[in-house]
Structure 1
Amino acid sequence: MLSIKEITKQTGITVRTLRYYDEIKLLVPAGKTEGGHRLYGEKELKKLQEIQFLKMLGFSLKEIKEMLSDKTRDWQEGLQNQLQYVIKEKEKLAEIEKTLIGLMNGITIDGDVNLSEVQKMIHLYQGSYEERNAYRDQMFCEEEKVLLDLLPNMNSRDSDSLEWVLLLGQLKQHLDKDVTAPQVQKIIQRMYEKTIETFGDNDVFFNKLWAVRKSPEKSKKMGFYPIEDEVLDFFERAWQVFESKQK
């Protein structure tokens, strides 16, 4: 027989947890000493290992108690249900991860937490994925939809997306300057280079994309990250200056 302290030493489970398991009749000790101290045998130790394993799989203590006490329980069904639960939780965590990355990238662009933009993002990601895809199908042909997948993603940490985030953040820092300022034109030049690197010399696609980007309503339907009109207007005027010098 092992004392409660010896069980704790072997398993790392606290005395308080073992006492609680006893109180809820999940793991009742094999006996007690004359002084009232709990004692555990090999059977109880094995059951404790089963409890910890099932906890690791995400089952609640109530479910574990039912599973271990019901010898006729359908384990296949129980495990399948738990698998579906874990998959759904994994999907939720993946969405939360993307949103957190998007918010961090938003801070990089804005230099601070913009609560109004956070609210916009919440509404944006509450939108239906199917609805966004349907709108893309409506607006772009198959060849153009391939190019859409190459757009920077605010919820990603890939090098291309991060560079776009940094460039946009840098551009916003110069809104008080003239669009012809060297600092502004240097940023626009890199944006131009990245656009050509990504999409090639595809003016039809780029113009269609820009028309969507400039419309808050269309941008929302596409699932684009919200950008202030002031920034879009500044970018457009700076881009036009850059292009005029290329001719």
Structure 2
Amino acid sequence: MKISEFAKRAGVTVKTLLYYDKIGLLKPSQKTDCGYRIYCEKDFLVLQQITTLKFIGLSLSEIRKILHETEANLENMIIIQKKALEEKKKHIESVITVFNKAENQIKENGFLEVDKLIDIIKITNMENKVIEQYKTDENLNLRGNLHSYNTNKTDWNTWCFNQMKIPTKARILELGCGTGELWSKNSHNINEEWTITLSDFSKGMLSSTKNRLDLVDGNFLYEEINAQNIPYEDESFDVVIARHMLYFVPDITKAISEIKRVLVKGGLFYATTNSGEAMAELNELVKNFDCSMGLHDNGMCNRFDLECGQLLLKEYFSEVKVGTFEGKIIVDNAEPVVAYKASSIKGSSVLMGEKKREFTKYVGDYIKEKGKLTITTKSCIFKAKK
């Protein structure tokens, strides 16, 4: 077939075939003495391969490697392209979410300012990062591993439970329940007259919680809940618990307002968080290694910590008390330290590959020189009454 006939049969333009010939992607089987390009059935099959690989998003240079270089790995290229498309899908879904929120704002107010659109985008991006971070309990467990080296051997979950004064008969809501350790570690103290609603925004985390509490006696209910919009009537609960999660909520004040709304009069709210002083030695170590990574602080914890949280809660609750939980992590190997930082929201994207290997060596050298790494820990529980 001459080029015009081949193009017509293949459903492409002559211009496309000329370009493929020029870049060495698809050369005709023959060329006549007069310079006419002649294509055959084999060329048609190659063109079908090109069309297929283009459809899945591979570039022409990648396709040329697959077709003409034996070392090119089609499977790897498909995996890479699939990952790229998944990221693109996430971005599109994020944009749609922003549009939906913006549309709701316009319906409520009749207009939308540019500054408000910027806020919506920031909030949506934050929500997506947190959702990705806690899709499963893996990152939570990695960070918990470092705390197993704490010299304060009082169990955190037991300590928290003992700080709470829960009525004999109570409707309890835990927001951001994680893996349900508060209840599994204190199973012997669960009152049969408690109705305990465990919630999280992550289906994967709720699934982990159900598995952990499968053999624990208790009236447990499981709900996927956004703390900024709690789907219950006013005064539905006697106790609300939010442990180390409020700083992840895009609009903290809205969440606190919702918590107050669903609490009965005289109801209790227990919230835990870290102190800004916590992990100071580790943060200094990271800063000295490479401050450009932006991992030399406690990340989102700073949005609601011991130092600012009490003042914020006092705006909503008549009585706010605080209890503190302090300790020292003493570790003699780099692995749990690196895993802690690498599993954070920002760390998971910047502390990887060669950078992670460099940091592991840096921490290892520090421990070898000093004999150990000591890290201060300081957390608290706020006890608020409506």
Fold shared, TM-score > 0.5 on shorter chain = yes
Task: Name 1:129's counterpart in structure 2.
Answer: 133
Task: Say which structure is richer in helix.
Answer: 1
Deviations 1:17-52 (A, max 9, x none): 111111112211233456644321222222222222
Unaligned runs of 5+ in 2: 107-111, 141-175, 184-196, 200-205, 207-220, 266-386
Determine if the alignment matches structure 1 residue 226 to structure 2 residue 251.
Answer: yes
5 Å-filtered alignment, 1:94-243, equals 94-111=89-106, 112=112, 114-127=117-130, 129-130=133-134, 134=140, 136-137=177-178, 141=182, 144-145=198-199, 146=206, 149-151=223-225, 194-195=231-232, 203-204=237-238, 207-208=240-241, 218-221=245-248, 224-226=249-251
Task: Name 1:79's counterpart in structure 2.
Answer: 74
Tell me the distance in 1 between the aligned counterparts of 2:66 and 2:124.
Answer: 42
Unaligned runs of 5+ in 1: 155-163, 165-190
Task: Name 2:145's counterpart in structure 1.
Answer: none
**Superposed displacement of residue 139, structure 1:** 9.0
**TM-score normalised over the length of structure 1:** 0.55
Percent identity between the two aligned chains: 23
Tell me the distance in 2 between the aligned counterparts of 1:153 and 1:79.
Answer: 45
Task: Name 1:183's counterpart in structure 2.
Answer: none
Tell me the distance in 1 between the aligned counterparts of 2:104 and 2:250.
Answer: 11
Task: Say which structure is richer in strand.
Answer: 2
Q: Structure 1 149/7 Cα, relative in aligned 2: closer, same or farther at 3 Å? A: farther
Report if aligned partners of 1:32, 1:38 keep a CA contact under 8 Å in 2: yes
Task: Name 1:63's counterpart in structure 2.
Answer: 62
Report if aligned partners of 1:33, 1:39 keep a CA contact under 8 Å in 2: yes
Q: For structure 1, which segment, 143-152 or 59-68, has the greater mean C-alpha deviation from structure 2 after superposition? A: 143-152
Q: Structure 1 101/54 Cα, relative in aligned 2: closer, same or farther at 3 Å? A: closer
Q: Structure 1 67/95 Cα, relative in aligned 2: closer, same or farther at 3 Å? A: closer
Tell me the distance in 2 between the aligned counterparts of 1:5 and 1:49.
Answer: 17
Tell me the distance in 2 between the aligned counterparts of 1:95 and 1:140.
Answer: 31
Tell me the distance in 2 between the aligned counterparts of 1:218 and 1:103.
Answer: 23
Q: Structure 1 95/136 Cα, relative in aligned 2: closer, same or farther at 3 Å? A: farther
Tell me the distance in 2 between the aligned counterparts of 1:5 and 1:220.
Answer: 65
**TM-score normalised over the length of structure 2:** 0.38
Tell me the distance in 2 between the aligned counterparts of 1:30 and 1:132.
Answer: 54
Task: Name 1:46's counterpart in structure 2.
Answer: 45
Q: Structure 1 105/123 Cα, relative in aligned 2: closer, same or farther at 3 Å? A: same
Report if aligned partners of 1:31, 1:38 keep a CA contact under 8 Å in 2: yes
**Superposed displacement of residue 132, structure 1:** 9.6
Deviations 1:108-162 (A, max 9, x none): 43223621231233344345604996475389846513467422599xxxxxxxx
Report if aligned partners of 1:30, 1:44 keep a CA contact under 8 Å in 2: yes
Residue correspondences, number:
185
Tell me the distance in 1 between the aligned counterparts of 2:19 and 2:250.
Answer: 49
Task: Name 2:8's counterpart in structure 1.
Answer: 9
Q: Structure 1 47/92 Cα, relative in aligned 2: closer, same or farther at 3 Å? A: same
Task: Name 2:24's counterpart in structure 1.
Answer: 25
Q: Structure 1 138/57 Cα, relative in aligned 2: closer, same or farther at 3 Å? A: closer
Q: Structure 1 19/204 Cα, relative in aligned 2: closer, same or farther at 3 Å? A: farther
Report if aligned partners of 1:124, 1:220 keep a CA contact under 8 Å in 2: no
**Superposed displacement of residue 59, structure 1:** 3.0
**Superposed displacement of residue 73, structure 1:** 4.1
SS in structure 2 of the partner of residue 9 of structure 1: helix
Q: CA RMSD of the aligned region, Å?
A: 4.2
